Amino acid sequence: MVRGPLEYNQQPDEVLLTLIEQQDPNALAELYDRHARIVHNLIVRIVRNPAVAEELLQEVFWQVWQKAGDHAGHGAVAAWLYRIARNKSLDQLRRQQARPQPVQTGSQEAEQAVWSQLKADAAEIEQVIARRWDDDYLRQVLAAIPPEQRQCLELAYFEGMSQRQIAEYTQVPLGTVKTRLRIGLEKLERLVRADGYKAEDVI
């Protein structure tokens, strides 16, 4: 059976990955269209070089093409893509740090300082990127939650508001805010777990 573009658009990531494992280039193209932008942004935030990030992005999806079957048991496809991108990005930083640097008058110490700082901050960089990924992922999941509950969750999570501050901001009783947050969190947890995440990893 020949699949048209609309059929690929309607397939979940897991189905696309199965098709990629069968060497279906259209499935790879669809997966790329869905996730390339955010994966590229994550790589840029680690390597801090758009040109290098573009090369690493292609490497990520080439690995997906070659090793789609390796995803089994690794949770959500998007999270798996992120781990591949993160690992390749950090490997790139390590290669750059290990690469001999040309001697340049007045700049050698500055260059060494940059890479020393990158090495010292590697764990912190990973945490920042992970949080950015979680934020983008949560915004997508929150779109499936009713607006009133979603607003309360977004104000709490992204703006750091307390329940009382949310009540004042939305002009609704504090008890209503607490109820919306509780129900919204329950729905959010179900959606997150359905995607293969542990709720505590992103909430």
Q: Return the CATH number at 166.
A: 1.10.10.10
Question: For position 80, which CATH number holds?
Answer: 1.10.1740.10
Statement: the pTM of the whole predicted model exceeds 0.75: no
Going from the first residue of the chain to its last (203 residues), give the mean pLDDT of each consecutive group of 10, the final group possibly shorter: 62 90 93 88 85 94 93 75 87 74 49 49 47 61 84 80 86 91 85 62 49
Domain count, the chain: 2
**Domain stops at, among 89, 115, 142:** 142
The residues near 86 (Cβ < 8 Å, ≥ 6 apart) are 42, 46, 126, 129
Torsion of CA 42, 47, 49, 53, to 10 degrees: -50
Domain that holds residue 82: 1-142
Q: Would you state the pLDDT for residue 98?
A: 61
Give the closest residue to 96 by CA, choosing from 65, 126, 53, 131.
Answer: 53
Q: Would you state the pLDDT for residue 56?
A: 95
